[in-house]
Amino acid sequence: MHRFNDQYPVEIREKMKGGTGSVRFEHIWKKNSNEEMHSGCRQFSRLTLAPGCSVGVHTHQGEEEIYYILSGHVRTLDNGEWIELGPGDATICRSGEEHAMECVGPEPCVYLAAVIVY
């Protein structure tokens, strides 16, 4: 099974998890009624945050989320500590932990996100 770059289903989420602005999802693969993925991964997407946009603070339970920054810069809350990430950096939020993201700088932040269920 394959999918070309221009074939990813796009979803826009406004004020995600209480954040600001909108988040653009390009769903590379996700667990849905088409059963694209058969593993414990429920989402593998490319996300775009415009400058000043954010994903609000939230906690994961029974799953973990991994971010890998492709371009741009974000500030991310990792269990109470804000750190800045840029291209090539990654972060993981494990079950029971909380995190948030905010695009900083003049360009959008584009990153890969995978949500893996235990």
- Report the pLDDT value the prediction gives residue 1, as an integer from 0 to 100: 81
Categorize the per-residue pLDDT at 33 as very low, low, confident or very high, splitting at 50, 70 and 90.
Answer: low
Domain of 62: which CATH number?
2.60.120.10
Question: Are the C-beta atoms of 51 and 81 separated by less than 8 Å?
Answer: no
Structure confidence at residue 49 as a pLDDT band (50, 70, 90): very high
In a domain, residue 74? The reply is: yes
Domain count for the chain: 1
The predicted model scores a pTM of 0.92
Provide the sign of the torsion angle of the four alpha carbons 79, 113, 54, 110, taken in this order: positive
Which residues span the domain enclosing 50?
Answer: 17-117
The tens digit of pLDDT for each residue in 74-95 reads: 999 988 899 999 999 999 999 9
In a domain, 6, yes or no: no
